[in-house]
C-alpha cells in the first residue's frame, strides 16, 4: 500500500492567475516538481475530480452555494465574492476540484489504497462559513470532506486540527454545535478574522489556542501538547482531518508567529502518533494558508515527508 497520496491538479494554477494577491498561483506551481525531486518511495500523486455539487450542500446553505456558483465570471473579469475573495474564469474548476480532492482522498483512505493524503488545493477553505465566502475561501473544503465522512461512511468522532495562523472561523461556524466533530485551532490572536477566543467552546467540542504575536517554537510546541494532544487522547478520534496552513512560519508576511518548517514536521508527527493509536493512521490533510512562497514550499515538503514515513 502506498502510504501517502498527494492530490494536485494544474487547474489550481488557473484560479486568479493574473492578480497580484497573497493567495496566488505561485504558491503551488512548483510543488509537484519539488516533490518529484525528493524521490519519495511511499507516495504517489493523483489528480482530483471535480466534486458532485450535491455534496457541497451538506456543509453550506443551498441558496448560497447556487448563488455563488453563478457568480464565477466567464470572461477575463475578476469578481469579488467578498473583499478578500476574488474569483476569475479559471476559479470554478479550481474550486470544484479543491472540494473534490477531499472526497477522493477519503475514498482512497477508506478503501485502504493509502493511509493518509495531502491535498494541495486552491482556493483554501477554512474561512468559508455556512452561508458566505470570505478570506480567500469560496467553499469550506475541510467541512465538506468532514460531512462526507459523516453522511457517506457514518463516522461520528472526527477531529479537525487547524494549525493555520488565522483562525478557521468558517469551520468553527459550521461545526459549532455538531456532536460528531471536535475542532482544534492554534492561531495568532488577535488577527484576522477576529474569532477564536478561548471562550468559544460550542458544545464543548471547540478547542481554541490563541497565540500571542511573536510566539516561538518551544512555546508553541508546549501549548500544542498541552491543549491539543492531551485533548485528542481524551477524544480518541476515529478520523483526523488537518487544515494545514503554513503561515505560522517565521517568514510569512501576513502574521507574526515564529515557527520553522521543522515545527510542521513535529506537529505532523504528533498527529500521526494520535492517528496511529486511535484511527489506524487515517489522516486527511488539506492546504490552507502560507504566503511566503519559499517558506510554504519548504513547509509543505516537510509535512509530506513526515506523512509518508
Domain boundaries, the chain: 4-307
pLDDT of residue 254: 97
Backbone phi and psi for residue 173, each to the nearest 5 degrees, phi listed first? -60, -45
Q: Is 9 a residue of the active site?
A: no
Whether residue 308 is predicted with pLDDT greater than 90 in this model: the reply is yes
- CA gap 227, 232 in Å, rounded: 9
**Confidence check: pLDDT of 272 > 80:** yes
Q: How confident is the model at residue 129 (pLDDT cuts 50, 70, 90)?
A: very high
Rounded to an integer, what distance in angstroms lies between the CA atom of residue 202 and that of residue 199?
9
CA gap 274, 224 in Å, rounded: 13
pLDDT above 90: residue 192: yes
Share of residues in the chain with pLDDT > 90 (%) = 99
pLDDT band for 5, please (50, 70, 90 cuts): very high
pLDDT in tens, 274-304: 999 999 999 999 999 999 999 999 999 999 9
Give the CATH fold of the 4-307 domain.
3.40.800
| Average pLDDT of the residues in 157-174 | 98
For the chain, give me the number of helices (H) and strands (E)? 9, 10
Task: Please check the confidence at residue 90 and state whether its pLDDT lies above 80.
Answer: yes
Q: Work out the mean pLDDT of the chain and round it to a whole number.
A: 98
Enter the DSSP assignment of 109.
Answer: H
Query: For residues 169, 174, 177 and 181, what is the CA-based torsion angle, rounded to 10 degrees?
Result: -90
pLDDT at 215 over 80: yes
**Overall average pLDDT of the 166-172 stretch:** 98
Q: For residue range 39-53, what is the model confidence (pLDDT) as tens digits?
A: 999 999 999 999 999
pLDDT at 196: 98
Helices assigned H by DSSP within 82-208: 91-110, 141-153, 169-175
Residue 277: per-residue pLDDT: 98
Catalytic residue of the set 60, 127, 167, 249 = 127
- C-alpha angle 214/218/219, rounded to 5°? 55
Q: What is the pLDDT of residue 2?
A: 82
Q: Three cell numbers at 165? A: 495562523
- The pTM score is 0.98
Amino acid at each position: 500500500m502506498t502510504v501517502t497520496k498527494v492530490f494536485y491538479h494544474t487547474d489550481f494554477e488557473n484560479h486568479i492567475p493574473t492578480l497580484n494577491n497573497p493567495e496566488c498561483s505561485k504558491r503551488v506551481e512548483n510543488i509537484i516538481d519539488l516533490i518529484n525531486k525528493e524521490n519519495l518511495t511511499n507516495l504517489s500523486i493523483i489528480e482530483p475530480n471535480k466534486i458532485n455539487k450535491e455534496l457541497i450542500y451538506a456543509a453550506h446553505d443551498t441558496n448560497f452555494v447556487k448563488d455563488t456558483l453563478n457568480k464565477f465570471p466567464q470572461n477575463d473579469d475578476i469578481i469579488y465574492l467578498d473583499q478578500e475573495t476574488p474569483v476569475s474564469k479559471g476559479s470554478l474548476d479550481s474550486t470544484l476540484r479543491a472540494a473534490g480532492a477531499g472526497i477522493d482522498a477519503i475514498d482512497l483512505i477508506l478503501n485502504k489504497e493509502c493511509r493518509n493524503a495531502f491535498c494541495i488545493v486552491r482556493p483554501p477553505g477554512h474561512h468559508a462559513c455556512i452561508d458566505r465566502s470570505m478570506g480567500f475561501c469560496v467553499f469550506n473544503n475541510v467541512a465538506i470532506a468532514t460531512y462526507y465522512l459523516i453522511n457517506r461512511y457514518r463516522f461520528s468522532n472526527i477531529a479537525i486540527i487547524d494549525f493555520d495562523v488565522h483562525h478557521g472561523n468558517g469551520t468553527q461556524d459550521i461545526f459549532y454545535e455538531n456532536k460528531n466533530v471536535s475542532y482544534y485551532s492554534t492561531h495568532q490572536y488577535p488577527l484576522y478574522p477576529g474569532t477564536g477566543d478561548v471562550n468559544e467552546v460550542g458544545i464543548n467540542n471547540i478547542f481554541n489556542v490563541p497565540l500571542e504575536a511573536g510566539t516561538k517554537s518551544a512555546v508553541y510546541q508546549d501549548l500544542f501538547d498541552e491543549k491539543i494532544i492531551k485533548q485528542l487522547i481524551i477524544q480518541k478520534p476515529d478520523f483526523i482531518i488537518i487544515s494545514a496552513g503554513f503561515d505560522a512560519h517565521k517568514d510569512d508576511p501576513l502574521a507574526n508567529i515564529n515557527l520553522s518548517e521543522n515545527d510542521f514536521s513535529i506537529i505532523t508527527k504528533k498527529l500521526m502518533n494520535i492517528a496511529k493509536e486511535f484511527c489506524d493512521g487515517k489522516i486527511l490533510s488539506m492546504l490552507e494558508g502560507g504566503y511566503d512562497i519559499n517558506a510554504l514550499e519548504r513547509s509543505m515538503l516537510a509535512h509530506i515527508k513526515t506523512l509518508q514515513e
